[in-house]
């Protein structure tokens, strides 16, 4: 959810008053509620019941590589929603990949805009700008020795170049959240820095106009936080 402003004009209907900024656009409450929500609640991500069979059949000789795709790509979307069945989609700046190894699809990996105003990230990157991304998904469907660390290394190198090409800004780093009982072993192996645990609080700001200003805090799951600066 974006930042709330008062005495601003809605970019869509001209209403002046309390509005919310969402990725550079100002919405009044009415226009915000009318925003199209594609994919039946999954923000443009759509499952395809035939994808699993297509993935099984794909086979030809090829080394490890990342195929950059949109979030609407059926293979990426199906594997993403299998990993996060309750997800409402991916918002903000984002770069998504299908992972190939030896001619087969072995998983997906991606990154998107990080949470707003996260003190640990501001201190770690020494900036208030959000020119870093959250590694929001890393799903492997075919395991192989050392494959995960090889993918993560390739991901770091590839996304830095692709981010600058797509958004025109330098990507200064990556962050990620790891939910216990997982410990983030692949991030440790790739020399990511451990920043501690989250407080386990979810912030909800969607709903009636007053809830845009008065945030709701709900109990959540504490997660490990890792970060990596990109040179």
Whole-model pTM?
Answer: 0.72
The candidate with the shortest Cα–Cα distance to 7, out of 16, 15, 31, is 16
What are the φ and ψ backbone dihedral angles of 26, each rounded to 5 degrees? -105, 130
Task: Quote the CA–CA distance of 39 and 45 in Å, as a whole number.
Answer: 6
Q: Each residue of 26-72: pLDDT tens digit?
A: 888 888 888 765 445 566 676 666 666 666 655 544 689 999 999 99
**Count of alpha carbons within 13 Å of 85, Cβ hemisphere only?**
1
Name which CATH class applies to 36-229: alpha beta
Average pLDDT, the chain: 85
Q: In terms of C-beta density within 10 A (0-12 exposed, 13-18 middle, 19 or more buried), how is residue 66 classed?
A: buried
Q: What is the pLDDT of residue 49?
A: 66
The pLDDT of residue 211: 46
The predicted model gives 187-194 an average pLDDT of 97
pLDDT tens digit string along 76-105?
A: 999 999 999 988 889 899 999 999 998 899
Residue 209 pLDDT greater than 90, yes or no:
no
* pLDDT band, residue 206 (cuts 50/70/90): low
Boundaries of every domain in the chain: 36-229
pLDDT at 53: 65
Predicted pLDDT at 37: 57
What pLDDT, on the 0 to 100 scale, is given for residue 95?
A: 98
- Its sign, for the CA torsion 116, 118, 157, 64, is negative
Query: What percentage of the chain has pLDDT greater than the value 90?
Result: 55
Q: Cβ(155)–Cβ(109) under 8 Å?
A: yes
Torsion, Cα 123 124 127 133, to 10 degrees, reads -130
**How far apart, in whole angstroms, are the C-alpha atoms of residue 163 and residue 170?**
7
């Amino acid at each position: 959810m974006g930042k709330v402003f008062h005495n601003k004009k809605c970019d869509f209907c001209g209403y002046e008053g309390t509005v919310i900024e969402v990725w550079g656009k100002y919405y009044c409450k009415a226009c915000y509620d009318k925003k199209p929500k594609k994919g039946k609640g999954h923000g443009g991500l759509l499952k395809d019941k035939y994808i699993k069979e297509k993935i099984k059949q794909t086979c030809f000789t090829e080394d490890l590589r990342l195929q950059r795709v949109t979030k609407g790509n059926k293979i990426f979307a199906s594997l993403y929603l299998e990993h996060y069945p309750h997800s409402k989609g991916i918002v903000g700046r984002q770069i998504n990949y299908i992972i190939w190894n030896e001619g087969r699809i072995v998983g997906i990996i991606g990154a998107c805009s990080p949470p707003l105003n996260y003190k640990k990230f501001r201190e770690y990157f020494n900036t208030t700008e959000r020119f870093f991304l959250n590694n929001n998904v890393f799903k492997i469907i075919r395991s192989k020795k050392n494959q995960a660390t090889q993918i993560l290394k390739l991901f770091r190198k590839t996304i830095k170049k692709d981010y600058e090409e797509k958004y025109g800004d330098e990507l200064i780093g990556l962050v990620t959240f790891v939910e216990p009982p997982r410990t983030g072993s692949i991030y440790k192996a790739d020399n990511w820095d451990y920043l501690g645990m989250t407080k386990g609080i979810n912030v909800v700001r969607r709903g009636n106009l007053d809830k845009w200003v008065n945030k709701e805090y709900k109990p959540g799951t504490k997660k490990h936080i890792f970060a990596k600066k990109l040179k």
